[in-house]
Amino acid sequence: MFDSSSAIDSSCMFPDPQDADVTTLGGARNKALFLELVKRCREGRDLLKNIEDFINFEWVAIALKRRSRRRRPKPE
């Protein structure tokens, strides 16, 4: 459980449900970006260095993965 009492603005701790819905393309990208930022933070790396490259690459990778899933025939 997250304690938002120490946050600057406790209302900003929870994302809009539409932005967090990983079944949507935007939500999946937001999740990937969040996980990348957590990883960079834990490794002590600059959070924003080349982040635009990550965002662009992740967006394309997620879109291609979703497209390939739609084309795959369903098992009978």
Q: Does residue 58 lie within any of the structural domains?
A: yes
- What pLDDT is attached to residue 2? 47
- What pLDDT is attached to residue 49? 92
For the chain, how are helix, strand and coil distributed in percent, rounded to 5? Answer: 65, 0, 35
Q: Does residue 75 lie within any of the structural domains?
A: no
Q: Does residue 53 lie within any of the structural domains?
A: yes
Q: Does residue 54 lie within any of the structural domains?
A: yes
How many domains does the chain fold into? 1
**Full pLDDT tens readout for the chain, 76 residues:** 445 554 556 556 667 777 788 888 778 888 888 888 999 999 999 999 988 888 877 677 777 777 777 666 666 6
DSSP letters spanning 17-58: HHHH-TTSHHHHHHHHHHHHHHHHHHTT--SSTTHHHHHHHH
Q: Does residue 8 lie within any of the structural domains?
A: no
- What pLDDT is attached to residue 1? 46
Domain ranges, residue 49: 20-70
Residue 10's Cβ-side half-sphere holds a number of Cα atoms within 13 Å equal to 5
Q: Does residue 32 lie within any of the structural domains?
A: yes
> Is this prediction's pTM over 0.85?
no
